[in-house]
Amino acid sequence: MKRKQIAAALLAALMLAGGTAEARELVEQRAVISGTVQSVVTAGASVAEGDVLAEVDTLAGPVPAAKASADGMVREVRAEKGQDVRRGDVIALLESRS
């Protein structure tokens, strides 16, 4: 009898764990300044909130154009080195961990 109760409890715990898994949201990471991309993060990179995703060249030198808005993983990069981007352009899609 105890084995059946333990098995039922384990099964319930497994079902509950599986039922709470959420699809993670993809968040657009946009450029906050225009310029020519000098460096950009790669797809698959793990990032923390505030990490620089792309830098652009300006009269003052390289400046961060986009920073991660949350902890997560870069799922897609939509800019490449040498490309001109404008403020508001999507630089990357981030799968948020929060």
What tens digit of pLDDT does each residue of 21-78 get?
455 789 999 999 999 999 999 999 999 999 999 999 988 899 999 999 999 999 999 9
Fold of 24-96: OB fold (Dihydrolipoamide Acetyltransferase, E2P) (2.40.50)
With cut-offs at 50, 70 and 90, classify the pLDDT of residue 19: very low
CA distances from 35 to 24, 29, 44, 71, 79 (A): 31, 16, 24, 25, 12
Q: How far apart are CA 46 and CA 1, in angstroms?
A: 47
- Can you give the residue ranges of every domain in the chain? 24-96
Residue 1 in tokens: 């009898």
